[in-house]
Amino acid sequence: MRSTSSGLRALASCRATALILMVLALYASSVAQALAHNVTAGDAGYIQEIWGVHIIPFIYLGAKHMVTGYDHILFLLGVVFFLYKMKDVAIYVSIFAVGHSVTMLLGVWYGWGINAYIIDAIIGLSVVYKALDNLGAYQKWFGVQPNTKAATLIFGLLHGTGLASKILDYNIPQDGLLANLLAFNVGVEVGQLLALAVILIVMGYWRRSPNFMRQATVANVIMIGLGLWLTGIQVAGYFAST
């Protein structure tokens, strides 16, 4: 019976590993079809045409953005990759959420942002940074460990700036702006929680595999490749647009 149950757990872990790698591959393929922080034509038209407070629609738009934001998901995966306690997960995700919320809200409210290609290239590098951190690269190369909480906050601020830069392109009407932005931000956090729930469920199965550490190394190397790919696409887009 023990061998049977062990075999079932190993099979479940292998399936979870395959699912993680498949999701990463799908995110990679999606880059060829869409840019990070992009807003669909239908959503953009809706944002430009509405007037006044629309809480529920903006919550939906925020959640949709987060769930489909592959750069956010990749970074979030990197952040929780080796966090085993829910307390630690809550702390780091909250830090990221605070940073993301602050710059998104302030950026749109005060009308400042960064070129979308540049900020999205930096966000791609944030994925690379976190994957390297997960691999212990900074300790091996430089003999130091960067403050992971500070890095999470900084990259949260950058991710929020990226979203603010994109939203500003669509000139949201001033009437009801604050309420709509707050609703959008609530939606982003709802979407983040949904994405996080899926990640933690899959990671929970995957970590039961005796080969998890070896497979984790491969997964983080893949994340480095995806982050560099994201960055390269944004850099190419920047030069093509100038």
The predicted model scores a pTM of 0.81
pLDDT beyond 70 at 237: yes
> Which residues constitute the domain of residue 170?
2-241
Q: pLDDT confidence of 32, banded at 50, 70, 90?
A: very low
pLDDT tens digits along 54-87: 888 889 888 888 887 778 889 999 999 999 999 9
Q: What is the percentage of the chain residues whose pLDDT exceeds 90?
A: 45
Q: What is the mean pLDDT of residues 104-119?
A: 86
Cβ neighbours of residue 152 closer than 8 Å, sequence gap 6 or more:
79, 92, 95, 96, 99
Give the least confident one: 15-19, 142-146, 163-167. 15-19
pLDDT of residue 33: 44
CA torsion angle 237 33 165 232 (round to 10): -40
The C-alpha atoms of residue 150 and residue 125 are separated, in whole angstroms, by: 16
Task: Count how many domains the chain has.
Answer: 1
CA torsion angle 67 71 74 79 (round to 10): -100
Q: pLDDT confidence of 166, banded at 50, 70, 90?
A: confident
Taking CB atoms within 8 Å and a gap of at least 24, the contacts of 222-225 are: 222/21, 222/24, 223/24, 223/74, 223/77, 223/78, 223/127, 223/128, 223/130, 223/131, 224/127, 224/128, 224/131, 224/132, 225/28
Q: In the chain, what's the furthest Cα-to-Cα distance? A: 66
The C-alpha atoms of residue 35 and residue 45 are separated, in whole angstroms, by: 18
pLDDT of residue 75: 92
pLDDT tens digits along 119-129: 889 989 999 99
pLDDT of residue 11: 54
pLDDT beyond 60 at 115: yes
Q: What is the percentage of the chain residues whose pLDDT exceeds 70?
A: 80
Q: Judge whether 123 and 163 are in contact, CB under 8 Å.
A: no
